[in-house]
Amino acid sequence: MSGHEVVVVTGASKGVGRAVAERFARDGARLALLARGRQGLERTAREVERLGGVALPLPTDVADYDAVDAAAAATEEALGPIDVWVNDAMTTVFAFFEEIEPEEFRRATEVTYLGSVWGTKAALERMRPRDRGAIVQVGSAMAYRGIPLQSPYCGAKHAMKGFFESLRSELRHQRSGVHVSMVQLPGLNTPQFDHCRSKMRYKPMPVPPIYQPEVAADAVHFAAHHRRRQIYVGAPTVYTILGERIAPWLGDWYMARTGVGSQLTEQPIEPPREGNLFAPVDERRDAHGDFDQRAHPRSAVLWASKRRRQLAGSVLAGAAVAAGAAARLRT
């Protein structure tokens, strides 16, 4: 891992994108920061510089491929060849599906899903000729299991997973040196619950248990430097994925009973809250939302995932010792 690697982060003004930028900055990375809001990007850039990185804020609407490609070109001209590209930008509408207008659903999909596709395309066009580089898709447990009130986001994350699997197969077929990975996340304490559009009468919140965005950033950083297919963060992510594979009907029943209430606080808001769906909202926010008191700063699942080879070796060694002891008892 080089302290001078060039990293592009989309959705870098707040939330997970901000936390990811800060994590790479601690390595001294040169970071291109992409998001729509100029003021939020400038705040992230100042923090990146404070932490020892180099920041290039590039106001960009990731739903526009030409704008994303231009940002990639500007990154390489200013900072050098791109080593890592992180697709994190998202937006959504918290509402029952029948209350979401077609243009709202389209916009959420274009940012969250097509934004990742366009970022991947811009990165690959530069990485493929060099036959190296890493692209990290910031996914979610909701790439496997849809939940109520988030049909645009869940649909986009499912689509991202399908795109990711198709692309990985193609790159392996072509024996490419470019690596693509996906990080599947649980509920996170980020500002999206303050700045995404909502049509609910109460402020939305992440599904508990909640994790801090730095946990997600650690997973993204690890994925960028280790050739893993997927990284899971948080026990709820693992339970969700396993449950969907074993008994999807049970997930339907459970989400019908608990999914709406578990995503709403007791804090009333006046619907509809416009949010950042069509234009950036300049809230003075960083990576964190309003749930610091409830958010976990670490994930045992991520810890184990990062050490799976050592843990597997320990299990095998333990099994060998147990087998040896059993053999001695029989003699």
Active site residues: 153
CB 272 within 8 A of CB 198: yes
In the chain, beta strands by DSSP E: 6-10, 30-35, 54-59, 84-87, 93-94, 134-138, 179-184, 187-188, 197-198, 202-204, 210-211, 230-232, 264-268, 295-296
Identify the sign of the CA torsion 157, 163, 169, 173. negative
CB 301 within 8 A of CB 237: yes
CA distance 179 to 127: 10
CB 11 within 8 A of CB 26: no
Identify the DSSP state of 294. G
CB 153 within 8 A of CB 142: yes
55 three-class SS: strand
CB 156 within 8 A of CB 109: yes
Supply angle C-alpha 7, 187, 14, rounded to 5.
40
* Helices (H), ranges, 142-267: 151-173, 192-195, 213-225, 235-246, 248-258
List, edge to edge, every strand of the sheet that includes 6-10: 54-59, 30-35, 6-10, 84-87, 134-138, 179-184, 230-232
